[in-house]
Structure formats: structure tokens, C-alpha cells
Structure 1
């Protein structure tokens, strides 16, 4: 008796078509469920947005999901060209499961990424990855429920695999019916048409589906939900590798140069070397507006969001020490960071250079090796000593390399502390350790007899929050998902208060101008304008002898971090040659309400210009929007229909970015002409 061998079922062309369609629909369902998970996880951003807006966002999302699905389905579509390949279902199942596995992983990753940055996955992912991987992994492990997420990811992936197996089984029923090759060819052409149509995402002529096509509502959260995180990350990777996001000129350089000079150069300043640099100028400092100081201390506070500062209108008592200090100095009530990442806060504040498209990680780029007209360059030539005190590792963001090149010589980082009160395995020592060491270093510099400048940078208010076990402050418990973040902010505020208590007892205090500023804000349930303005709104406090007598206790002048260096130089006295891309906020012409150019970190090419209480936002590939806004205790944002004003601000913003980019690429951003090899 012979043993009969059974042949495995081989799908015919129609069965393979059903497999193709059901697999594609499964992927679409997965992406929609991931979008729903993102929606629920960030439900505090819904506010009073109507349900219909989010339905529209989910419908928009189907187009972006279809685009990703189309690319995944290309190998399955190609199987119609060969019956033998069509029969290799195991390989097809492996491919579909792997693709779904990656999409699910990115979807889980995006839950907290969006909660932190209010952006879908973008070039920030690559920025973190190319930094110190050990630190990044430690931050993720200690800051988020990684094990829970990994288990969920594995379980969901296993369920998806079983679904694909089920689809495979029901589309391989016993049949001997096979179709002529031309039928397979027709089906192949049909699949190609489906893939191309879904991949383009639109029937219009010209450009295919763009991220701007998701921006169809007035809700920033809903618009972001319409995107697909996997697709956003792929687009970011392409832009990072190609540098395609470098700002393209929108007007002749001569016209842009004229506009920029009218925006920045003040009456007490004279342009020099106009054939070599855009805004290199000599500043004749008004002696009546100087202060009796010789030292400079800049304190850059991690994630010190203006939205939660009591002195700016928040009633939650998160920053009692800063609020008390604000009564002793000059507080700017409408101040903004140039970017939404510490990296941008550092070079904007100290190097006086704006955050530009394609150069969001300037300190790590080749152009970061240029000389900038910042505080180190301007004060080093005055023979002032310096120190940079930081909780963490100076290799992060290439801080030591960048600031050494700019002229700083003394650095105190995480490995230089002895017996710290608390040391976090991810970032380093706590803020109270940093501020204690900072005061010690400033006392040493004072004892040397030379004037000095210093940068003290905090870090505890960053995931995973380097806080001592026994907190010296009450934890925040009434702010929902923000509780942990705001507890860290309250702790940082306490450490800042401890520093000033010691500083006031030190001999250097009476001769020093202190600048306290946030490096950036962070997301909260109120997304003010399409720019999510609270991620930029930070306090700026200047404390110095005689500051209130000459300039008052508060100022509503709009400014950004690039205005800090010229404002400091105007208080020190002495004539200055500089090329800061900001202005002295305490020496503006009468009636000047101030302006600033801001841009999110990452590959997001949205740019905005603030002018007084107006903000013009220019999303990439979309029309501009002009708002009247108000930050503080009663934040508002109202769209303005004023084409003339919108065109005026748009022209200024584009000219500023165009010439700043040219200055960077030409290496002419320093106070002196760049040296070139002959």
C-alpha cells in the first residue's frame, strides 16, 4: 500500500486578491486603532473641541494610513507576476507581520512622544538616537513604563499575526481551479493602480499627499491626529539625510538685507563691513542706561514654562521662589524661547543666533563650528573669566565642543561633583547640587579679582526627573497628567531660591547682573494658536542693582532668547561690535513693542513671527494665519483678517530667516569677519 502525499494548498489569482485586500484592510484598522489610542492617551488636549472635528481628523487620517499601507503592500502586489511566488504565503505572512510590528512599536512609542512634544514622530527621534545612546535609553527606561509597553506591543503583534494567519487560511481553500496568466496580469495591474492611488493619497494634479493636507480644522490636536506617525518619521528621515529643509530664498538678497537691517539695527547702532556681513554693527551704549555691574550670570532653567509661573498669572503655586524674586527685578511678561528644545535655548541665549530650518541641532552641525556674536565672544575679549556649571554630561548636544569654540574655558559637569545630595543615572546630579556648586564657583571667580561671566544650567525638570527621594517641596497632586512634571518644576524653583539665598550673602552679588530664563516651555491642555505657543512662552527675569529704578518692575515688550545678549551688553557699558540677531530690549525706540522669530524643534518647518500681541504663523505648504494673542492668566487667540498686516509680517519673517541662513552658510555671523584659508 503506497502512502499518498498531499500537496499544500496553492492559492489562485482571485484568492490572492482577496488575501491582498483583507491584509490591507487589517493594516488600515491597526493604524486607526493606534490613532484612537493616541487620542485617548492625550484626551486632556480635547478641551471644548467638538466631536465632529475629531471625526474629520480620523477621516483625514485614513488617507495617510492608506499611503503607508500602500507601500507595505507592494511586495504582495508583485506576487501576481509569478504563481510560484504567489504560493509563498509564509514569506508574505512574515513580511506583513514585521511591517505591522514596526508600525505598532512606533504607535506605542508615540503615545508619550506626543504627550511631551505635541508633535508626531519626527527628526527629534534621530537627534536623540545619534546622541549618547546610553543616556537616551536610561531616560526612556527610567522615565516611562517600558515593560508595560513592551508587553502590550508583543501581545498586540501576536494577535495581528494570528489575524494574518486566519486570512491566509480562509484564502487557501481546496481548489484545483487556476486562471489563465492574463487574469493574473489584469489583477496585477489593478493592484498597481490601487497602490499608486493610495500612495499618492490624492486625485489632484501636481504634488501628492502632504502633511499639510491634515490641517483642515482649527484644532492643532485634531490636525496632528490626522497624520500617521510612521509616515512622519519616514519623511523626517528623508529630510535629515538630504538637508532639503534648508530655507529657500523668497526674495532677492538685497531686498531681504534691507528689510532685516530695518528690523534689527537700532538708532544707537552703526552698520560696519556691510559688504561682508548682514547686520554687523557698532553699538554706542547709552551710559544713562547702564547698571553698576561687572559680572554676568545667566541661569537657563530646564522646561521653565511661563504657563505655570505664578508671577505670570498662574495660581497653582508652582514657582513661589521665582515669584518672590520677580519682585526684586525686571520681569518680561511676553517672552519666548526661539525653539522647543534645550539645544536651541542654549545657542539662542548664549550665541545670539536664531533657530533656523535644517539647523535645529546647530551645535552638532558643521556650521556650529563657526564663530557667533554671542556672550562668550563679546565678553572673552574683555578679559573676563568664565564658568559653565551643569548637572549632566557636556558631551550631550556637543556642549563643550561648541562653547569651547566660542570662547568658554571652564566647565563643571556631572563627573566633577563630590558627594552630591542626589545623582540620577540618566542625567546627573540634582538642581540643588548644581546650584550649590554654581555658587561655590562664582565665589572662586570673585576671589580672583577679575570680572566674570557664567552659565548655570538646570536639568532636574526633565524626564525622568532627577529628584531626591525626600523632596523639600510638596508634590503637585491637582494637575492630572502634569503632576510629575510640575513637581519637578516646583523642585527646580526651590533650588533656584536656595541659590539666590546663598548668592545674596556672597560678595559678588552686588556687582552682578543675573538673567533667569527658561530654555523652553512644554505642552499643556491649552494649545494656544497653531504654534502651540505655550511651548515657547518662558519667563525672563533680570536682577541687578538699580534695575527697577531705571527700567521698572515689569515689561510687556515682546522678546526672544536672541535678545538676551544685546540686552546684557547694554547694561554693562562700553561700546560693542556685534552681530546679534536680537536687540537690546531696554533701549528700543518709543512705541516699539518688540518682535521675535520662533520655530519648533525637529523637522517641523512651521515658522512664526511675533510682533507685539500679533503672531503670524507660516506652516510649510499652507497659507499663513494671523492671530491676536494673549498669554498669562487669561490666554486667548483670535484669528485676524488683515491681509496687509499679514503680508507685512510675512515679508519680515521670510527676510529674517533668509538672511540669517545666508549668514550661517557664509560663516559671517561673528562679530568679526571669518578667517578663511587662502
Structure 2
């Protein structure tokens, strides 16, 4: 029995080492991203411990069985060596994901999931960016290498007795009892306790504030919980069909009393041009264009990553799933989209993205959503302007874009997604030192793209079609600013959105109305006086509605007028007056129960409507 006890002791030591390494990576995660979190409390530590232990026992369940399996096989020297090496490699792989998220979390605002790691169409992008990550964030790589070496040397070896002891029936009974008990312990720890349902990502909110949930979680847990999950959303039945429609109905009926305006439409989606970069010296051209446009001062993204922005802007689909809609099993659903609707009005349609074809699956989504043509890096025919990592520099690709617009049959609808202000923020050597560095790493490349935009508009304003064009500019998501207000659950979604029509002096001014990316599609159709009925989870800029909806890892973020609401686990967990309480410190749930109840009802109806229509493929009439 002594050898069996030694095997148990060895297992516990190895699991404890892994648990300590998880704590170490959490501390690194916090220290390298300290500006993103409010505080690291003991409650946060306890919550993190629970999620760490859950991930560790699931990952190591086969090794636990291998150490505790009754019988003499486990005492074989070769068997123990294989057990040690495989234990080391498997755990090191998962620990590596924690190191990756030390940096990647800055861009996504959430722990990575399986879908983010294995997304089709991202292979070339990932391979191209890895060298840049390793070079720029060498210190993270160095920490990982040190941990890798230390981890191996800390793993003790099994000291096999050359004179095996005689195993009695009592000893075998104890081994089987210990084995069965261990299996039960694995299940209990893996579930996170004795509660009815296993812990989920959203349960991190129980241990800290919304801003700190990434600190409570670990990346292996986020990956494991999405490993076998086939779908992103479930049907909910908060209301009957009649009640649901009376509370919220996504069917928009546009019935203009004026003839259709056959204007060209150009949508420019600006990579990482979050609100934190506007009016701070990095975007002189965009700042000047805002003064000539209809500017949504309270503009919001519907997601945190680029791949969420395109369906939101083009098809008025909010990002209310853990996976991006483009990557989900619903990506082939029939949807309303601007190219589909405008083609019926005689428009030529096209989508441009200067990165390599297949990046972010934009070429596939362009096809699904009905664009006639897609232009990526492969279709670029200008001067050699490859940035060496990502795609064609914005200056050259925007000039290529201007040239192509001249060749399209009028009226046309076209959208372009810029790329140069994407990591690793490469700008042409001839411009290095020309633009202000700003206060964050990205801002020099933001300034370069702003300069490229100025050159684009200087080129196209000479064309006849220019004055008969509606230009819409929107960022895809934020980039992470250096002010406290940039880091709140309001600030991480605030982006510039503006409508610019050179021929309409009435479409000028600043509105404080809450406006989101999914509002762009119905707003364009309304502005052009296009008669249509459609499914849209946004609203027109002419609508009296004043709401915004975001979602991140199990929590819904809802803005209604001056109020911001957190919703998770089927209930409101926070109500704040975000206009007065800009850092969201005062929870008004208990003092304003009427507003809380009303917000709960609307959110449940909105979620039920979205989930039902996505699952049942009823996103069109």
C-alpha cells in the first residue's frame, strides 16, 4: 500500500504545482494589465481558485486516473515516465494559453475561447502575427520559457521500489475505494461545488465586479467550456408570442412619403478608431469632418472585435453570442443586409478589405450578405505596399479604392475596412516620425490612417459622383484608452459614428442620442427614403428609441437614455446613471426599482426575440 500512497502523494504534488503556476500567471495577467482592472481582492483570488481547480481537474482527469488506477501497471518505470512527460506537455499547453491572454486580453476584453483560437480563415493571420507578438512582447515569452523549465524540474519522479510489496485483499479494497472517491472528487471540483449546475464563465461575476471578471477566470476554463458546446445561444421563453411583440418587435416598416433618393453610399469601417482616439490630436482630418457631418456623440460598437462589426453594420445584427456570428453555426442564416436591399434598388455593391483574402472570414460574409464583388489583398493592383504582416497599407489601398469607385455603375453601395491601425500597428517607413506618438501604442498608426483618409477624400471629392454620395464612417471597436472613463463598461464600447453628405447642409450637427452600429443599416435606408419592411435589432436615427445593446461573456450591457444596466443570469445586477456617474460607482437598483423592472422586461423581450429568430432562421420576413 505504501507504493500506492506514494503515487497519490506524487499526484497531489504535481497538481499543486500546476495550481500554483495558474496563480502565478494570474498575478502576471494582473500586473501587465493593471490599468484594465479596478482592484485585486481576496474575493477575486477565491473565485479564481475555484475556476482554476475546475479547469485543472478536467484537464488532468486522465492523469488522475493514471495515478490512482488500481493494479501494478502504474508502478512500471516506462509507464511512469510516459505519465510524467504527457502530464507536463498537456498542462504546459494550457498554461501557455494564460500567457497568450496576458496580451490578447487587451484587444478582446475577454478570455479567449475555443472559437477564437480555431476560427477558420484566421490561420494566415495568426501565423503572420506570431513573430510580431514574440518580438514586441518578448518579456512574456521569456516568462513562459522560465516557467516551462521550472515546471519540468519541479515535477518529481516516482521512486519505484525494487522489491515490490505483497498486495492483500484489504489493500486492493482500499485502492478501489480511493479510486472511486477520487472520481467523485473530480466531478465535484470540476463542477465548482455542489450547486445544481456546473460553474460557467458568467459565474465569475459572483466574485468581483464586471470589469474584473477576466481576472477571476482563466483561459483554459474558457476554452474547455466551449469545447463541446455546439451552439452559442439557447431559446428562452420569458413571454408568450403576443406579449413578446407588444414589448419588443424587431420588424421595422419604412414607409417614406418622399421619393427614393438614388445616392451612392460609402461605408468606411475604421480599425480601432475608438472614441479614446478622437479629438486628442491623432485624428485632425476626422475631427474636421465631424464638424461637417451628422455626428453621433454617443456612438457605440456592438462588439469588442473586428469580426463582430461587419454583421452589425451591414446586417444590423448585434453581437449577442459568445462566438462571432460569422463563425457560428448560424452564419448561413438568411439575413437582411444593405447589399441585398440596395441591389433591389439598382445598386452595384462591393466590399473592400486590404488584408489577405480570407482574413476574418470577411470574404465569405460578403458573399453571404449579397455583395456583388469583394476586393482584398489579392485583388489589389496598385504599387507594392504590403506591410509585411497584415495587408496593404491604408494610404495605397484607399487610393486603389477611390480608383475602383470611379469604375462602378451608379448608384453604388460600397464598404471598406481599414487595416493599418491593427496590431502590430505598422506604418510605412517614409512616415515614421511624421505623426504624433500619442499616449497609447496604437495612436501613431491611428494618425497615419487619418492621414490616409484625408488623401482619399481629397481624391474622390474631384469626382462627379462625390456630391451625390452619403459617406458613413464608423469604428469597428475601441482600442483601449488611458483614461479611467475609457475603461468602464461604457467606455470600452464608445466609438465615433458619423453621416456625411456633401450635398446636404441639413445633415450637419451633433446629436447626443444613443446610437450603435446596428442602427446604421435602418438609418441609411430611412435617409434614402427606401420603402421596405425588414428585421432589424437596431433603429433608425429618426426613431424616438434611445437604446444600445452589447454583450460580453454572459453579461448584457444595456443603455437606455441616461441609464446603463447590467443583466446576467436572467436578472438585472446593476443600474447606473452613466451621464452623471461616469465611472459607474453607484448602483441604483434598489433606489429605482421601477426603472429596474422596466429594463428587465425590455431586455428579456429583446434577448428572446433575437435568440428565437437566430435559432429558427427567421431573420428575414
Structure 1: which 5+ runs fail to align? 1-9, 265-278, 311-315, 674-678
Q: Does 1:411 align with 2:380?
A: no
Deviations 1:285-339 (A, max 9, x none): 254xx997721111111111112211xxxxx312121111111111101111222
What is the aligned counterpart of 2:281 among 310, 317, 338? 317
- The CA deviation at 1:438 is 1.7
Q: Does 1:36 align with 2:5?
A: no
- The CA deviation at 1:147 is 6.9
Q: Contact between 2:7 and 2:158, CA under 8 Å: does it hold in 1?
A: no
Q: Contact between 2:298 and 2:494, CA under 8 Å: does it hold in 1?
A: yes
Describe the SS at the equivalent of 1:402. helix
Describe the SS at the equivalent of 1:557. strand
What is the aligned counterpart of 1:60 among 47, 50, 53? 47
- Segment drifting more, 362-371 vs 94-103: 362-371
The structure-2 alpha-carbon separation of the partners of 1:142 and 1:612, relative to structure 1 and needing over 3 Å to count, comes to: same
The structure-2 alpha-carbon separation of the partners of 1:395 and 1:134, relative to structure 1 and needing over 3 Å to count, comes to: closer
Deviations 1:357-400 (A, max 9, x none): 26x43335564334433211221111122332221234334433
CA distance in 2, matches of 1:173, 1:628: 72
Describe the SS at the equivalent of 1:422. coil
Matched residue, 2:121: 131
Matched residue, 2:465: 508
What is the aligned counterpart of 1:285 among 236, 256, 281? 256
Q: Does 1:463 align with 2:423?
A: yes
Matched residue, 1:430: 393
Matched residue, 1:230: 220
Which structure has the larger Rg over C-alpha atoms?
1
CA distance in 1, matches of 2:329, 2:163: 63
CA distance in 1, matches of 2:334, 2:68: 59
CA distance in 1, matches of 2:4, 2:551: 52
CA distance in 1, matches of 2:499, 2:47: 47
- Listed as ranges, the matches of 1:242-281 within 5 Å are 242-243=230-231, 245-261=233-249, 279=251, 281=253
Matched residue, 1:333: 297
The structure-2 alpha-carbon separation of the partners of 1:197 and 1:284, relative to structure 1 and needing over 3 Å to count, comes to: closer
CA distance in 1, matches of 2:185, 2:607: 41
Q: Contact between 1:305 and 1:534, CA under 8 Å: does it hold in 2?
A: no
CA distance in 1, matches of 2:227, 2:191: 19
- Listed as ranges, the matches of 1:563-602 within 5 Å are 563-585=519-541, 587-589=542-544, 592=545, 594-600=546-552
The structure-2 alpha-carbon separation of the partners of 1:394 and 1:535, relative to structure 1 and needing over 3 Å to count, comes to: farther
Total equivalences in the alignment: 612
Describe the SS at the equivalent of 1:317. coil
CA distance in 1, matches of 2:468, 2:260: 9
- Listed as ranges, the matches of 1:120-199 within 5 Å are 120-128=111-119, 130-145=120-135, 152-165=143-156, 168-169=158-159, 180-189=171-180, 191-192=182-183, 194-199=185-190
The structure-2 alpha-carbon separation of the partners of 1:321 and 1:73, relative to structure 1 and needing over 3 Å to count, comes to: same
The structure-2 alpha-carbon separation of the partners of 1:386 and 1:198, relative to structure 1 and needing over 3 Å to count, comes to: closer
- Segment drifting more, 636-645 vs 495-504: 636-645
Q: Contact between 1:391 and 1:457, CA under 8 Å: does it hold in 2?
A: yes
Structure 2: which 5+ runs fail to align? none
Matched residue, 1:92: 83
Matched residue, 2:596: 646
Matched residue, 1:347: 311
CA distance in 2, matches of 1:354, 1:107: 28
CA distance in 1, matches of 2:23, 2:445: 35
- Segment drifting more, 131-140 vs 656-665: 656-665
What is the aligned counterpart of 2:275 among 306, 324, 327? 306
The structure-2 alpha-carbon separation of the partners of 1:223 and 1:341, relative to structure 1 and needing over 3 Å to count, comes to: closer
Matched residue, 1:363: 326
CA distance in 1, matches of 2:411, 2:2: 82
CA distance in 1, matches of 2:371, 2:359: 17
- The CA deviation at 1:185 is 3.9
The structure-2 alpha-carbon separation of the partners of 1:366 and 1:226, relative to structure 1 and needing over 3 Å to count, comes to: closer
CA distance in 1, matches of 2:61, 2:208: 34
- The CA deviation at 1:63 is 1.5
Deviations 1:413-469 (A, max 9, x none): 212223436213443101111211122122233xx5x32221122111112234212
CA distance in 1, matches of 2:69, 2:619: 58
- The CA deviation at 1:183 is 3.8
- The CA deviation at 1:526 is 5.7
The structure-2 alpha-carbon separation of the partners of 1:93 and 1:363, relative to structure 1 and needing over 3 Å to count, comes to: closer
The structure-2 alpha-carbon separation of the partners of 1:635 and 1:320, relative to structure 1 and needing over 3 Å to count, comes to: farther
Deviations 1:85-119 (A, max 9, x none): 33133233223212331232122212112122221
The structure-2 alpha-carbon separation of the partners of 1:393 and 1:253, relative to structure 1 and needing over 3 Å to count, comes to: farther
Q: Does 1:663 align with 2:617?
A: no
What TM-score does the superposition give when structure 1 sets the normalisation length?
0.82
Matched residue, 1:201: 192
- Listed as ranges, the matches of 1:386-401 within 5 Å are 386-401=349-364
Q: Contact between 1:293 and 1:513, CA under 8 Å: does it hold in 2?
A: no
Q: Does 1:493 align with 2:450?
A: yes
Q: Contact between 1:332 and 1:554, CA under 8 Å: does it hold in 2?
A: yes
- Segment drifting more, 207-216 vs 322-331: 207-216
Q: Contact between 1:523 and 1:532, CA under 8 Å: does it hold in 2?
A: no
- Listed as ranges, the matches of 1:549-560 within 5 Å are 549-560=505-516
CA distance in 2, matches of 1:168, 1:631: 62
CA distance in 1, matches of 2:285, 2:501: 17
The structure-2 alpha-carbon separation of the partners of 1:409 and 1:637, relative to structure 1 and needing over 3 Å to count, comes to: farther
The structure-2 alpha-carbon separation of the partners of 1:218 and 1:414, relative to structure 1 and needing over 3 Å to count, comes to: same
CA distance in 2, matches of 1:476, 1:58: 40
Matched residue, 2:563: 614
The structure-2 alpha-carbon separation of the partners of 1:83 and 1:621, relative to structure 1 and needing over 3 Å to count, comes to: farther
Q: Contact between 1:291 and 1:571, CA under 8 Å: does it hold in 2?
A: no
- The CA deviation at 1:190 is 5.0
The structure-2 alpha-carbon separation of the partners of 1:302 and 1:246, relative to structure 1 and needing over 3 Å to count, comes to: farther
- Segment drifting more, 316-325 vs 612-621: 612-621
Matched residue, 1:269: none
The structure-2 alpha-carbon separation of the partners of 1:164 and 1:306, relative to structure 1 and needing over 3 Å to count, comes to: same
The structure-2 alpha-carbon separation of the partners of 1:454 and 1:531, relative to structure 1 and needing over 3 Å to count, comes to: same
The structure-2 alpha-carbon separation of the partners of 1:76 and 1:566, relative to structure 1 and needing over 3 Å to count, comes to: closer
Describe the SS at the equivalent of 1:408. coil
Q: Contact between 2:301 and 2:516, CA under 8 Å: does it hold in 1?
A: yes
CA distance in 2, matches of 1:113, 1:476: 25
Q: Contact between 2:501 and 2:507, CA under 8 Å: does it hold in 1?
A: no
